[in-house]
Structure 1
Amino acid sequence: MNDIPNAQAQGLAREPSIGALISQTRNLSAEQVEQVLAYQRQHGLRFGDAAVQLGFASTDDVLFALAQQFQYPVASNTGPALSPELVSLSQPFGAQAEAFRAARSQLLMRLQQQGREPRALAVVSPEPGDGKSFFCANLAVALAQLGGRTLLIDADMRHPRQHQLFLLEGQGRCEGLADVLSGRAGQGVIRQVEGVPSLFVLPVGTPPPNPLELVERPAFGLLLRDLLGRFDHVLIDTPAASLGSDSFVIAARAGAAVVLARRHQSRMAALQDLVGSFSHSPAEILGVIFNEH
């Protein structure tokens, strides 16, 4: 008996081969494809290995083709330019990307405790420069690579960066969270990330003069509740704790937080003060992560 339903089996049969994907990526001519096939038969190799040995493709091209077959979003060498900080996309098989996958697994296990309501995850840190935006962007990519709809909210209305990391500035006037909370936003403030179908970003938009007041308003909590019903994962980038109470308020609205510290930079006293400030908060601290980037 065939364990795969007919519809699924037909779908699998229609998956493009590694050879077809490499040929498309590298724009190989019919003559070059024939050379690869002949070399493949002669030496008993896979198409990708034969193409690499003939110099028609790179190892990265083969990994990219495999990722496409397994519906695993990664950056193509021939695709649009990306911020070098998006290592989960540009270097998906490297040590840094693996570290983000490990962090993803640990955080998901703690977020998905039985009997708990769905919660957003706020990333907080003591000082500017601790790497929250870098961490949030790559963790969001890692979450989206699981296939669930993932939303990254840039709530750092003091020093926003997510619109730069995901190249949203070139898409016209970039409205976002601040515009929504002030009642000034139009449609389409949530942007889908090109090349990662399940990843969406809500940028800050117009930097406001009153960021703390905006996140303290009931509208922010209502917005999060609505978004948690529309997305599988909601991740929030926050301002440094030393700049104000924004991160504390945002984490309380989210319900869960992870503290980020930077190796050789974060001060222990500031880190202890930050963790201690959550002792009477409704937000649950899921752990402390040290950024070595």
Structure 2
Amino acid sequence: MALFKRKRGTTETMEHGAKLITIAKPKGPIAEQFRTIRTNIDFMSVDNQVNKLAFTSANISEGKSTITANVAVTMAQAGKKVLLIDADLHRPTLHQTFEVSNKVGLTTILTSKANEIDMKDVVKTDEVNNLSVLPAGPIPPNPSELLGSRRMKDFLDKVVSHYDMVIVDMAPILEISDTQVLAGEMDGVVLVVRQNVTQKAAIQRSVEMLKLTKTNILGYVMNDVRTGADGYGYGYGYGYGQTDED
């Protein structure tokens, strides 16, 4: 698993996976911030149940996959049965993060002609109790068609009955059109914002695009906030266009 800090770069997470601080330093302040995010999401599920949760960002390299993976870990650590799906079919990362094969995955399910697929053949059970990982699988030439297909919707409806929480790592919404289509199938979506990187106009446009599909936007996670001894942190909030990024 990817447990240690690496230099920043637009391909670092793709090549080496996201940093799982919730496993590397489970008692540290950053892991506690991820548990706070988990708690906030749980509170928002009281009146409107959130079983299909997705994370996206405006653009690449804003920490989306890191936050998705760590939130999934904290939910599994809390005793929920979690399925983590890599639906970023352009820049998949979860197979690197959890060190599993990407030869089969979500695209295998969506392109299969079989009426039934044994989930044990494609879902990987991680060393984290209660956490299962579905990697993206081979990158297809038509990701938008696959993610917007009836088969994708049926797949999500089926797996949600077997897990307490299905968490989806989606592609950045301003760069990939299929994210907007998939977002509409989720019970809730969280937008990842990177401090001093994500522009306000990009946040506003992302929210506009999500609202077009009547997506339930739960809030945003502020990533890479420069605080504390570790040098950075995370925060959860509401109200778009009111953050401090440039």
**Structure 1 regions of 5+ residues with no counterpart?**
1-80
2:2, 2:197 → 1: CA distance? Answer: 27
2:20, 2:194 → 1: CA distance? Answer: 18
Q: How far did residue 278 of structure 1 move?
A: 2.3
2:113, 2:63 → 1: CA distance? Answer: 30
Q: After TM superposition, list the pairs within 5 Å mapping 1:228-267 onto structure 2.
A: 228-267=160-199
Which of 39, 43, 64 is equivalent to 1:132? 64
Q: Is the 8 A contact 1:121 1:251 kept in 2?
A: no
**Corresponding residue number in structure 2 for 1:193:** 126
Q: Is the 8 A contact 2:190 2:221 kept in 1?
A: yes
Match status 1:286 vs 2:218? yes
**Corresponding residue number in structure 1 for 2:3:** 83
**Corresponding residue number in structure 1 for 2:106:** 177
2:50, 2:21 → 1: CA distance? Answer: 28
Q: After TM superposition, list the pairs within 5 Å mapping 1:135-214 onto structure 2.
A: 135-169=67-101, 174-183=103-112, 187=118, 188-194=121-127, 196-214=128-146
**3-state SS of 2:53 partner:** strand
Which of 29, 33, 37 is equivalent to 1:99? 33
> Per residue, is there more strand in 1 or in 2?
2
Q: How far did residue 118 of structure 1 move?
A: 4.9
2:172, 2:180 → 1: CA distance? Answer: 10
Q: Which runs of 4+ in 1 moved over 6 A?
A: none
Q: Is the 8 A contact 2:184 2:213 kept in 1?
A: yes
Q: After TM superposition, list the pairs within 5 Å mapping 1:26-37 onto structure 2.
A: none
> Per residue, is there more helix in 1 or in 2?
1
* Rg comparison, structure with higher value: 1
**Corresponding residue number in structure 2 for 1:113:** 46
Q: Is the 8 A contact 2:73 2:131 kept in 1?
A: yes
**Structure 2 regions of 5+ residues with no counterpart?**
5-18, 225-231, 233-246
Number of equivalences = 207
> Which letter maps to 1:247?
T
> Which letter maps to 1:236?
V
1:117, 1:101 → 2: CA distance? Answer: 19
> Which letter maps to 1:134?
T
2:220, 2:50 → 1: CA distance? Answer: 21
Q: How far did residue 178 of structure 1 move?
A: 0.8
**Corresponding residue number in structure 1 for 2:239:** none
Q: Is the 8 A contact 1:118 1:228 kept in 2?
A: no
Q: How far did residue 174 of structure 1 move?
A: 2.8
Alpha carbons of structure 1 residues 183 and 253: separation in structure 2 relative to 1, 3 Å: same
Q: Percent identity?
A: 32
**3-state SS of 1:277 partner:** helix
**3-state SS of 2:185 partner:** helix
Alpha carbons of structure 1 residues 147 and 117: separation in structure 2 relative to 1, 3 Å: closer
Q: How far did residue 247 of structure 1 move?
A: 1.6
